Amino acid sequence: MSGFVIQGLDPAPFRELYGLSDAALADRGVVRMRVDAHPGFPCRVTLEDVAPSADVLLLNFEHLPVATPYRARHAIFVREGADAPARYEDAVPDVLARRLLSLRAFDAAGMMTDADVIDGADLAPAIARMFADPTVAYLHAHNAKRGCFAARIDRG
C-alpha cells in the first residue's frame, strides 16, 4: 500500500463545457483562455501545466464541499478536452513540485487541523509529516501565490 495518492479531478463535471461557444461559457461564468506561457496554466484534471497554444477553461469550482466554515471554492484551470484524471502514488507531479504551495490538513469532519506553506519540492516530506497525525483524513494543496486549489492528497 502506498503512503499517499495525488489524483486529478474527475473530468465528468467539465465535459459539458468542452466545445461551447465563448458566449455560452460566459453564461455559466466560465472563461476560455489560450495558453501563452509554460508553466502557468495548471490543469486540475491532468495535473500538468498545459502547453502553449492549447485552450483551458477558467472556472469556479467547489473543491471543499463540507458543512464546516472551511467550505471553499475558487478559480481553477481545466484543459479543454481533458478526459482522464492523473493519478500519482507516492510521487509528486511536476505541476506541484515547481510551485510554492499552501498545504492544509483536514479531519474526517472537514475541519482544518494543520497548515503550512512549503516549496513544492518539499511536498512529499510535508505530506508524511501531516499524515503522521492519525486524525488527518486528507490534505489539500493550493498554489500559495494565487490561492487556487491545486490537488487533493489522500492516504494510500
How long is the chain?
A: 156
Q: How far apart are CA 124 and CA 33, in angstroms?
A: 31
Residue 118 has which C-alpha cell? Answer: 512549503
Q: In this predicted model, what pLDDT tens digit does every residue of 113-123 receive, in sequence order?
A: 999 999 999 99
Q: How far apart are CA 5 and CA 59, in angstroms?
A: 25
Q: 88 by DSSP, 3-state: which?
A: strand
The answer, yes or no, to whether residue 2 has pLDDT greater than 90, is no
Work out the number of other CB atoms within 10 angstroms of the CB of residue 116: 13
The answer, yes or no, to whether residue 1 has pLDDT greater than 60, is no
So where are the chain's domains?
A: 4-155
The answer, yes or no, to whether residue 22 has pLDDT greater than 90, is yes
CB 73 within 8 A of CB 61: yes
Stretch 126-154: mean pLDDT, rounded?
97
Q: Tell me what the pLDDT averaged over the chain comes to.
A: 97
Q: 104 by DSSP, 3-state: which?
A: strand
Residue 22 has which C-alpha cell? Answer: 465563448
Q: How far apart are CA 35 and CA 55, in angstroms?
A: 6
Task: Name the pTM for this structure.
Answer: 0.94
Longest Cα separation, the chain: 48
